[in-house]
């Protein structure tokens, strides 16, 4: 991970600061990790999120330093930025010095959640959390509440080093049960904090000071039940949204007078170090915030410069739309109107003043590639029209970001009906066949039916939209390429989505219509099988390999989506799978054209003659690397230029499902 990225500078610098100054602190801030860093699933969609994060953490540090206890909150809701809330709670037995140290350590970890919109982290001495909603009165969270049990357990009898429990495990369980019950009661009674030790076990209960008494009680009741599940472990922790409960056979808390905090500790060497630490951290955060602001302003200036290159071309094109009109149409890009998120930006549903419903694509690019993609989608696609292509209606290039306006397609994208776990409707076999045929007709039009030859380069299930009648419309033309009739192929930079990209295109950058045919073949098999193709899965389990194996065994219908319940004609299903395998053959010359595919799909009965696939399909990215003798260390490999290594299978396990398939943006073109 590069520390040149300003997002990562702060945690690394803070760790360095801690390692060089905090060593003189002789007390125990209990910075042992109690539970893993938990990051939310939501992602920031605006460039202002990280500066807001920095501002909130700066405010949190200031509030903690100025507070009379070990608790502070911060919230930013007064400006145009998205709301942001943060909380730090040190356990009340920590001194002010130890609290500041524990906070500083926890503060180095939470930036690792960025750009996630939420994160929480438990240390044995403190808890830190940030989120995009006000969570201060939240006592429990059924999803993220957790417990942590020590692997060492109490032995039977009085042996095994646990002589304090003469009755063995039974006595230990009884003592722990009584301890957590009493220490929780003390915390509820005494303002949210309690410590206790008896019978060879010790306990601490802490509710966040933002909770009311009844909320603290609810949180600790759940914590008691959860921590009881750790028995007979010699130590257990329960970590809820609003509280922390811990028991141990070792005394870990501080209930001495000098550990209660207060101003008396400010004259100690440790307190002086903490003051220096806080001051340096404040300066460091301020510098980071200034740098982030500088980067943001530079990007805005570059975007305006790029838009200037386009303005003269589109003022006369009849496609111009006022930014303010589209902003109001989408209710100022309200998340409730958001239809989806792609590699080039977000798409929102909008209602124009005349009542027409449209889809507004909000672009986020500031480079020359941004200009090229914009030209493709506006200059080229506005000149073509087909029932199976999403129509571009207008654009806006004079606001703070550039917008494209498309016809609204109500049923959203095909992948939602094929792969979503909570899909509300199962596409029938007839509907699937109509989607396959309509997509083929749209591609055939792009390849030879309009005034120029067009290659889409990013055909996939999520780029096929379904209208009210479930007819398909191909969308997202930002990566299209055109070439004249005198050219057999283009040599271009790699762009598209892994799992749908043809082998000759990935390896040599050689682009022909057959690259779209390959992608179409993958989509055909996904539609028929109801499963996503994954470029990083082992060969034996990939969709293409599975279908090929069953096809050779004469049992290809076994791969058909089981949600159809067998309601499909066997002969037609075999032919559709055969078409998919024909289109995904590794050799481009063996793949049919889209015109031939339409002929295969529309010829009826006995007259339908579909060629037999001559070779196995291109299986996956890793198999391709093996065949070509490439490696991740090769300096000439297009794969290396894209920053992708296929030498291990770890990517399939670490890539979140919400982010797959992996889209590759073009690195160069010629």
d(CA 517, CA 580) in angstroms, rounded, equals 9
389 touches 442 (CB < 8 A)? yes
How many other CB atoms sit within 10 Å of the CB of residue 87?
A: 23
6 touches 51 (CB < 8 A)? no
Pairing assessment for the beta strands 235-239 and 146-149 based on DSSP bridges: antiparallel
How many other CB atoms sit within 10 Å of the CB of residue 137?
A: 12
115 touches 108 (CB < 8 A)? no
Give, in order, the Cα–Cα distances in Å from 431 to each of 434, 499, 519. Answer: 5, 24, 20
Which residues fall within 8 angstroms of residue 536, CB to CB, at 6 or more apart?
498, 620, 621, 622, 646, 649, 651, 652, 655
H or E element at residue 119 = strand 119-122
In 3-state terms, what secondary structure has residue 100?
helix
Annotate 37-53 with b (16+ C-beta within 10 A) or e (fewer): ebbbeeebbeebbbbbb
Q: Is 458 among the residues known to form the active site?
A: yes
How many other CB atoms sit within 10 Å of the CB of residue 11?
A: 17
| Tokens of residue 46, six digits | 């605006």
582 touches 521 (CB < 8 A)? yes
H or E element at residue 440 = helix 429-444
| Tokens of residue 384, six digits | 């073509």
| Tokens of residue 270, six digits | 């440790």
In 3-state terms, what secondary structure has residue 173?
helix
225 phi/psi in degrees, rounded to 5: -65, -40
Residue from 458, 476, 516, 561 carrying the catalytic annotation: 458
d(CA 14, CA 335) in angstroms, rounded, equals 35
Sheet strands (E) in 342-421 = 345-351, 357-363, 392-396, 403-407
Sole residue written with tokens 């894209």 = 642
Please compute, for residue 492, the number of CA atoms within 13 A of its CA located in the half-sphere on the CB side.
18
Give, in order, the Cα–Cα distances in Å from 77 to each of 47, 134, 260, 334. Answer: 17, 10, 34, 17
Within its chain, how far is the Cα of 511 from the centroid? 30
Alpha helices per DSSP H over 451-538 = 503-508, 513-529
Pairing assessment for the beta strands 510-511 and 357-363 based on DSSP bridges: unpaired
**Percentages of the chain per state (helix, strand, coil), in multiples of 5:** 45, 15, 40
In 3-state terms, what secondary structure has residue 495?
coil
Pick the closest to residue 345 from 368, 373, 315 (CA basis).
Answer: 373
| Tokens of residue 164, six digits | 């304090």
Pick the closest to residue 604 from 577, 584, 575, 578 (CA basis).
Answer: 575
Taking the alpha carbons at both ends of the chain, their separation in whole angstroms is: 31
| Tokens of residue 514, six digits | 């057959």
502 touches 460 (CB < 8 A)? no
Query: Mind telling me the catalytic residues?
Result: 458
């Amino acid at each position: 991970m590069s520390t040149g990225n300003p997002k990562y500078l702060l945690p690394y610098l803070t760790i360095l600061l801690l390692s060089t100054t905090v060593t003189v602190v002789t007390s125990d801030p209990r910075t042992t990790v109690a539970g893993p860093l938990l990051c939310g699933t939501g992602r920031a969609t605006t460039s202002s999120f990280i500066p807001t994060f920095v501002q909130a953490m700066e405010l949190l540090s200031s509030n903690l330093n100025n507070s009379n206890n070990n608790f502070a909150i911060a919230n930013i809701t007064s400006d145009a930025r998205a709301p942001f809330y943060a909380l730090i709670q040190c356990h009340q037995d920590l001194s002010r010095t130890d609290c500041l140290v524990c906070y500083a350590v926890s503060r180095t970890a939470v930036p690792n959640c960025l750009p996630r919109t939420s994160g929480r982290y438990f240390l044995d001495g403190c808890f830190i959390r940030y989120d995009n909603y006000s969570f201060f009165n939240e006592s429990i969270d059924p999803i993220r509440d957790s417990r942590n049990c020590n692997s060492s357990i109490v032995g039977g009898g009085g042996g095994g080093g646990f002589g304090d429990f003469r009755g063995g495990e039974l006595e230990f369980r009884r003592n722990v049960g009584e301890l957590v019950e009493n220490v929780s009661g003390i915390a509820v009674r005494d303002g949210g904090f309690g410590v206790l030790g008896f019978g060879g076990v010790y306990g601490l209960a802490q509710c966040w000071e933002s909770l009311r008494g009844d909320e603290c009680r609810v949180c600790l009741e759940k914590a008691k039940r959860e921590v009881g599940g750790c028995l007979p472990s010699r130590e257990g922790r329960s970590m809820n949204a609003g509280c922390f409960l811990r028991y141990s056979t070792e005394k870990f808390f501080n209930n001495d007078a000098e550990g209660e905090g207060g101003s008396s500790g400010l004259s100690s060497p440790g307190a002086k170090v903490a003051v220096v630490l806080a001051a340096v951290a404040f300066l460091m955060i301020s510098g980071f915030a200034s740098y982030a602001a500088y980067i943001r302003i530079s990007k805005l200036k570059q975007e305006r410069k790029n838009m200037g290159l386009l303005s003269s071309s589109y003022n006369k094109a009849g496609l111009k739309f006022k930014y303010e009109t589209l902003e109001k149409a989408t209710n100022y890009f309200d998340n409730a109107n958001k239809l989806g998120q792609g590699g080039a930006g977000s798409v929102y549903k909008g209602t124009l003043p005349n009542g027409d419903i449209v889809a507004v694509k909000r672009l986020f690019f500031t480079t020359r590639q941004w200009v090229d993609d914009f030209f493709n989608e506006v200059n080229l696609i506005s000149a073509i029209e087909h029932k199976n292509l999403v129509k571009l209606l207008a654009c806006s290039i004079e606001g703070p970001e550039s917008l494209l306006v498309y016809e609204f397609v109500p049923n959203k994208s095909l992948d939602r009906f094929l792969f979503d776990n909570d899909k509300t409707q199962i596409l029938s076999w007839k509907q699937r066949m109509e989607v396959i045929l309509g997509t083929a007709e749209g591609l055939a039009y792009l390849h030879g039916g309009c005034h120029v030859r067009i290659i889409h380069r990013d055909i996939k299930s999520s780029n096929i939209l379904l209208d009210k009648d479930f007819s398909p419309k191909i969308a997202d033309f930002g990566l299209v390429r055109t070439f004249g009739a005198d050219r057999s192929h283009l040599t271009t930079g790699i762009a598209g989505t892994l799992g749908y990209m043809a082998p000759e295109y990935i390896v040599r950058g050689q682009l022909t219509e057959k690259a779209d045919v390959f992608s179409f073949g993958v989509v055909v098999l996904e539609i028929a099988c109801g499963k996503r193709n994954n470029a990083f899965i082992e060969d034996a389990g990939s969709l293409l390999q599975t279908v090929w194996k069953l096809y050779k065994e004469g049992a290809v219908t076994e791969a058909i989506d089981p949600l159809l319940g067998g309601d499909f004609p066997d002969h037609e299903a075999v032919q559709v799978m055969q078409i998919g395998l024909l289109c995904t053959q590794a050799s481009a010359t063996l793949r049919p054209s889209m015109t031939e595919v339409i002929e295969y799909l529309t010829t009826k009965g006995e007259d339908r003659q579909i060629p037999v696939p001559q070779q196995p399909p291109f299986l996956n990215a890793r198999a391709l690397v093996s065949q070509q003798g490439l490696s991740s260390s090769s300096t000439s490999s297009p794969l290396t230029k894209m920053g992708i290594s296929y030498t291990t299978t770890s990517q399939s396990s670490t890539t979140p499902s919400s982010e797959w398939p992996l889209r590759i943006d073009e690195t160069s073109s010629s």
